[in-house]
Structure 1
Amino acid sequence: MQNDKLRSYLHFHVIVFIWGFTAVLGALISLDAVPLVWYRMLLASGFVFLYIKLRKRNLKLTKRKLGVLIIAGIVIALHWLTFFGAIKVSNVSITLALLSTAAFFTSILEPIFYKRKFVGYEILFGLLVIVGLYIIFQVETKYTLGIILGLISAFLSAIFTLMNGKLIKDTAPSVISFYELLTGVVAISIYLAIMSFISGGDKGFNLAFFTISSEDWGYLLILASICTAYAFIAAVAVMKHLSPYTIMLTINLEPIYGIFLAFLIFGSKEQMNPQFYYGALLILSTVILNGFLKTKRKINKIS
């Protein structure tokens, strides 16, 4: 049992490291955000479908649940579009620092989703996160659009996390993932088809959209298979052996891993003003402390 926990803990660190590498891949892939997300969701849905068939999962769902999954899929697609959009107009460090505010948005939205009262310290932590964001905005004005897109991405991440929190109770994670990914592909395809029609083929689905370098194909396959399909399914499996606090603390290492990898790969392009790191550290510390207090509160309730 102890060995299972240790293996799961080490495995989960690898998964979070992979998640951190996702942002780096987004910067390495030369495609714009829309085709990048379309290919990612298309390929990943294919990989997850193969997994479902191998495990002989039932894909049948009620109309109501399918409707919720369609909404969640659109939210996830918008999350990834803004996430990779932020990387394209700023850099990996900015995007990941802002993505860590997803935990703050979750703490604000959770009482609404699960109909509970707000906790006093959550308001205080919210103010601290705002201070951290203010510091980043003050020193990185040239990345204003990237910061805004990063915040929108974090907000959308909080929404689909809360939606999946309800869905996961009675639906297999792989089935949820398949329908959400497939919905994203369909939604973006409709948008691209409309853009192609309006522009007469200059935008949307055209020859340029399907012209991809071998290097980008390699990165896309890694992004869709390892960073999406594998990481999602493996994360659900190892979480069964870990405490909520361990999960929360480890996930919050994602921006640290990602920023470190980006600095190693891109060098000076990722070097920011020292005050940026003060703001990012304030946000991350607040998120970790919030997670610690929430986990402790839940444990006290159980005991």
Structure 2
Amino acid sequence: MNNLSSITKSLLVLHFTVFIWGFTGILGALISIDAVQMVWYRVLIASITLFVYFKLSKTSIKVTRKQFLQFFLTGSIVAIHWILFFHAIKVSTVSVVLVCMSSITLFTAVLEPLVKKQPIFKPDIFVGLIIILGIYLIFKFESQYTLGIVLGLLATVASSIFAIINSNLVQKSDAKIIGFYEISGAFFWITLYRLFNGELQNESFNLGFHDWIYLLILGTICTALAYVAGVSVMRNLSAFRVALITNLEPVYGIILAFLFFGSKESMSVGFYLGATLILGSVFLYPIYKKRKNLQ
């Protein structure tokens, strides 16, 4: 009974976490500053929040020099992903970008075997072709958002790369510690970039009240808290179940986008057909893969 209760609790926490991830895109559209500045504030707030969490929970954050360099360098890819993601939202819509992000299944299916020098699973290619067809339909019917689609797909490639890297790193290190150093690394690299282009010297921290509220929610709840919560559920839930529920992120995000932005998020029939192909394949493929493995 206790085990069932812990699983139910973990499922609720995971759904809440995925819902928060879906809400991230809404905040990206609501915050008035540009993508680079927004991500800089996000990772600054998240780094401080996680550091305070570790101090209060008396968790050691000591790592080796090699681990530190690995995490910090991976942080640069995390920074690129978030900047591309939010910039894509700025030039298109939340719905378009979240559907593009669903194509991570395609990029991971291709990139992971290449990185790990393994053969590509044939059904992965078939699912990839369906996702490509879905992306083509979105391109065809929502051509006014071409830049947003391209940036969204590039953000997805970056996300896939650091997910593959993390799948190796997490075998030897605590995921929360990895997250802290990667987010801190993202802050370091964006700070360097802003120093070189002269932006940081002119940073006045003089943002509007609503921007500060949205940034605090983005940095604390949607980044630091969501990361810790997302990791904690892995103790009670299988990787398969986590992956399946995580696929609800674009669904939650698109529903929230309609609630917040209404007609701005209305798309053509072609978009919804493409989105259905992508989301359908993303949902059904893990189920097929698990049944195949059980045979």
Task: Confirm whether residue 270 of structure 1 aligns to residue 265 of structure 2.
Answer: yes
User: For 1:30-57, what per-residue CA distance to the aligned partner results, in whole angstroms no more than 9, with x for missing partners?
Assistant: 1110000000000001111111112222
Please point out which of 232, 236, 242 is paired with 2:237: 242
Residue type of the alignment partner of 1:110: E
> Could you list the per-position Cα deviations for residues 82-112 of structure 1 after superposition, in whole angstroms to 9, with x for gaps in the alignment?
0000000001001100001112111112212
**1:65-76 matched pairs, under 5 angstroms:** 65-76=67-78
Q: Which amino acid aligns with 1:290?
A: Y
Give 1:210 shift. 2.4
Task: Tell me how far apart the structure 2 counterparts of residues 248 and 106 of structure 1 sit (CA, whole Å).
Answer: 13
Bigger shift: residues 125-134 or 208-217: 208-217
Cα deviation code 1:197-216 (max 9, x no counterpart): xxxxxxx1254652211110
Query: Per the alignment, in what secondary structure is the counterpart of residue 212 of structure 1?
Result: coil
TM normalised by structure 2 equals 0.95
Q: 1:6, 1:137 → 2: CA distance?
A: 40
Alpha-carbon separation, structure 2, partners of 1:184 and 1:159: 15
In the alignment, structure 2 segments of 5+ residues that lack a partner are: none
**Which residue of 118, 130, 137 maps to 2:132?**
130
- Aligned pair partner of 1:112 in 111, 114, 118: 114
Query: Contact 2:195–2:201 (CA<8 Å) still a contact in 1?
Result: no
Corresponding residue pairs, total:
293
Relative distance call for 1:299 and 1:70 in structure 2 (3 A) is: farther
**Comparing 109-118 with 33-42, which one deviates more in the overlay?**
109-118
For residue 210 of structure 2, what is the aligned residue in structure 1?
A: 215
- Partner Cα separation in structure 2 for residue 294 and residue 181 of structure 1: 32
- Give the aligned residue type for 1:238: V
Instruction: Kindly indicate whether the alpha-carbon contact (under 8 Å) linking 1:39 and 1:220 is maintained by their aligned counterparts in 2.
Output: yes
For 1:208 and 1:184, the matched residues in 2 are separated by 18
Q: Tell me the alpha carbon deviations over residues 246-279 of structure 1, each in whole angstroms, 9 at most, x when there is no partner.
A: 2121111100000000101100011111210110
Name 2:197's counterpart in structure 1: 195
- Note closer, same or farther for the CA distance 1:207–1:25 as it changes in structure 2 (3 Å cut): same
Separation in structure 1 between the aligned mates of residue 191 and residue 176 of structure 2, nearest angstrom: 22
Equivalent of residue 36 in structure 2, options 16, 26, 34: 34
Distance 1:216 1:90 in 2: 20
Name the residue aligned to 2:63: 61
Partner-residue secondary structure (3-state), 2:118: coil
User: How far does the alpha carbon of each residue in 1:190-237 deviate from its partner, in whole angstroms, 9 at most, with x for none?
Assistant: 1111111xxxxxxx1254652211110000000111100001101111
When residues 124 and 48 of structure 1 are mapped into structure 2, their CA distance, relative to the original with a 3 A threshold, is: same
Which residue is 1:140 aligned to?
142
> Deviation per CA, 1:1-25, whole angstroms, max 9, x where unpaired?
0111111112211111111000001
Using the alignment, how far apart are the partners of 1:134 and 1:185 within structure 2? Answer: 35
Q: State the alpha-carbon separation in 2 of the partners of residues 109 and 25 from structure 1.
A: 30
2: CA distance, partners of 1:142 / 1:159: 28
Deviates further, 90-99 or 235-244: 235-244
Match of 1:229 among 221, 224, 236: 224
In the other structure, the counterpart of 1:290 is 285
Aligned counterpart, 1:200: none
TM-score by length of 1: 0.93
Mark the runs of 5 or more structure 1 residues left unpaired by the alignment.
197-203
- Cα deviation for residue 297 of structure 1 reads 4.5
**Structure 2 counterpart of 1:124, one-letter code:** F
CA distance in 2, matches of 1:230, 1:166: 23
**Superposition RMSD in Å:** 1.4
